[in-house]
Amino acid sequence: MMLLWLILIPFLGGCLAWAFRGRHADASRWVSIAALSLDLPVLALATRAPSGAWLDRLNLPWIPQLGINFELGLDGLSLLLVLLTLLLGIVAVIISWSEITERTGFFHFNLMMSLTGTIAVFLALDLFLFFFAWEVMLVPMYFLIALWGHERRIYAAIKFFLFTQGSGLLMLVAILALAFVHQAKTGVFTFDYFALLGTPMSRATEFWIMLGFFIAFAVKLAAVPFHSWLPDAHTEAPTAGSVILAGVLLKTGAYGLLRFAVPLFPQAAMAFAPTAMLLGVIAIIYGALLAFGQADFKRLVAYSSVSHLGFVLLGIYAWNTLALQGVVVQMLAHGISTGALFILAGALQERLHTRNFAQLGGLWASLPRLSSWGLFFAIASLGLPGLGNFIGEFLVLLGTFQRHPVFAVIGAFGTVTAAAYALLLVQRAFHGTPRKVEVPDLRARHIAVMAGLAVAIIWLGITPQPVVDTAAPSLAALQASAATPGPGAK
């Protein structure tokens, strides 16, 4: 039952946040923080009785006529991602304290709904429920971008929505096709993840259905060539929206690949792996090059996300233990470092009303705290050893090298280009001729958030073992299910 509460608490918190909009200016914020914080002990409680790779399971009938159940499961992988969601959720509420002053009730309602949907995505084990949650997290994010975003918010929001919704429908067709194929083979119409694992099907069928899943997840993961929504959405979103988008929503794509696209279609995934890895490598290099050419702080960070998530794609399709561990660490590290950079971009925008490098520069003297945090997270983003991103990228490259040395070698260049754009970011935004700007530096609230994120990324960089250990059983289970094709497979 804990898993149900894990979803219900943020949902109810969101409703309350909206209901309290008139009472007090900050009531919605406190309600949201309280709900997300309350979810943390619930998450801890859910891990009490592990069985196998699964820490907790829940299965309730939902639409039995169509073989649909309300089935949730928490394993190490989902645990880490839910934890990231909750923490970044709290961060998002805190950093929008001074930025969002209009319609706060509805803002927090949307934020919480999006987080609810994301948590449900990480827990769902019924493919229909998964799709339901997948859609639920979209609409609120659309509102966040369209209502509280920057100049071209409507354009960005609609582009975001069309990309993700279009590909989502493609995934729906793939899910239904899988269910029908399963029914044709076994006579049972079901959307249950475990039942559908190892469904025997012909090569061509498996490939096409896998492709439906892959495209939906690749769009979410902003893999080249499906990345073009990302820079717009991230740039135009309010800071909290960018943090949630980059930190959490993009991870649902990676999670989907790990949980569904590869284990459900092992042979097709194997055959497709070189193509996917190629796309990953292209994303690493291409994203970095584009990031290098940006004149907008947030756009640069957005393109750096494309590059970082290229490592995730590369690692997933390398599909060995090392690479998968790297993927998990990279997902967490990217969530933290990119989130922090977006927060700093938001802080700059709030103070100087611009994100354009042409109007920035020379800020170190006037805004020393903001600038030094900027330097720290830019360096984290370029993958300095001792910080989380390094571990992630290193493990991914190591794992990939065992499978496809060529891709690993090309991917490794990504770390060089990362250094280029990250340092360029620092140089153009903070260095240069000192300039006097009459704005306050970072306040205590932001500094606390930055310090928390910094601790997290240093911890991840120095002792990644606990994270790796947490994810290990579920990664092993995923690898095992992908390795044993069902009975009668061709």
Partner 1 sequence: MNSSTLPFLILTITPVIVMLLIAAKRDHRLTASVTAAGLIAALASIFLVLPAGTITVTPLFLIDGYTLFFLFLILTSTLAVLLLSYHYLERMQDGPYEEYYLLLLLTALGGAALLASLHFAAFFLGLETLSIGLIGLIAYPRRRERALEAGLKYLILTGVSSSFLLFGMALIYLDYGTMSFAALGRLWDSSPASDIYAYAGFALLLTGIGFKLSLVPFHMWAPDIYEGAPAPVTALVAVVSKIAIFALLFRFFVLLGGYRSPSLLWVLSLVAIISMLAGNLLALLQDNLKRIFAYASISHVGYVLVALLAGSATALAAAFTYLAAYAVTMIGVFGVITLLSQPGPGHDADQLETYRGLMWERPWLAGAFTVMLLSLAGLPPTMGFIAEIYVIAAGVGRHLVLPLAALIIGSAIGLYYYLRIIVVMLSPAPRRVAPAPRARLGGATVAVLLVLLVWFGVFPAPMIAGVQQTVASLSFAPRTAPGSGDIFAPQRPAKAFADRESKARTSNMFNF
Contacts to partner 1 by CB under 8 A: 61-66, 102-103, 106, 128, 131-132, 135-136, 138-139, 142-143, 146-147, 154, 157-158, 161-162, 165-166, 169-170, 172-173, 176-177, 179-181, 183-184, 202, 204-205, 208-209
Q: Which residue in 133, 201, 142 sits closest to 171, CA to CA?
A: 133
- Which residue's CB is nearer to partner 1, number 176 or number 424? 176
Q: Could you tell me the smallest distance in angstroms from the CB atom of residue 183 to partner 1?
A: 7
Q: Which one, 158 or 289, has the nearer CB to partner 1? A: 158
Q: Which is nearer to partner 1, 129 or 262 (CB)?
A: 129
Q: Which residue number, 99 or 441, has a Cβ lying nearer to partner 1?
A: 99
CB of 31 to partner 1, least distance (A): 18
Q: How far apart are CA 356 and CA 352, in angstroms?
A: 10
Closest separation between CB of residue 110 and partner 1, Å?
10
In terms of CB distance, is 178 or 333 closer to partner 1?
178
Q: Which residue lies nearer to partner 1 by CB, 188 or 365?
A: 188
Q: Cβ atoms within 10 A of the Cβ of 437, count?
A: 12
Residue whose CB is less far from partner 1, 133 or 471: 133
Assign 3-class secondary structure to the chain: CHHHHHHHHHHHHHHHHHHCCCCCCCHHHHHHHHHHHHHHHHHHHHCCCCECCEEEEEEEEEEHHHCEEEEEEEEHHHHHHHHHHHHHHHHHHHHCCCCCCCCHHHHHHHHHHHHHHHHHHHHECEHHHHHHHHHHCHHHHHHHHHHHCCCCHHHHHHHHHHHHHHHHHHHHHHHHHHHHHHHHHHCCCCCEHHHHCCCCCCHHHHHHHHHHHHHHHHHHCCCCCCCCHHHHHHHHCCHHHHHHHHHHHHHHHHHHHHHHHCCCCHHHHHHHHHHHHHHHHHHHHHHHHHHHCCCEHHHHHHHHHHHHHHHHHHHHHHCCHHHHHHHHHHHHHHHHHHHHHHHHHHHHHHHHCCCEHHHCCCCCCCCHHHHHHHHHHHHHHHCCCCCHHHHHHHHHHHHHHHHCHHHHHHHHHHHHHHHHHHHHHHHHHCCCCCCCCCCCCCCHHHHHHHHHHHHHHHHHHHCCHHHHHHHHHHHHHHHHHHHCCCCCCC
Minimum CB distance to partner 1, residue 185 (Å): 9
Q: 325 with 472: CB under 8 angstroms?
A: yes
Output the smallest distance, CB 229 to partner 1, in A. 13
Query: Closest separation between CB of residue 10 and partner 1, Å?
Result: 15
In the complex with partner 1, the residue whose CB is nearer, 135 or 350, is 135
- Smallest distance, Å, CB 260 to partner 1? 17
Closer to partner 1 at the Cβ: 66 or 462?
66
Nearer to partner 1, 146 or 375 (CB): 146
Tell me how far, at minimum, the Cβ of 81 lies from partner 1, in Å.
Answer: 21
Residue 62: CB minimum distance to partner 1, A: 7
Shortest distance (Å) from residue 201 CB to partner 1: 8
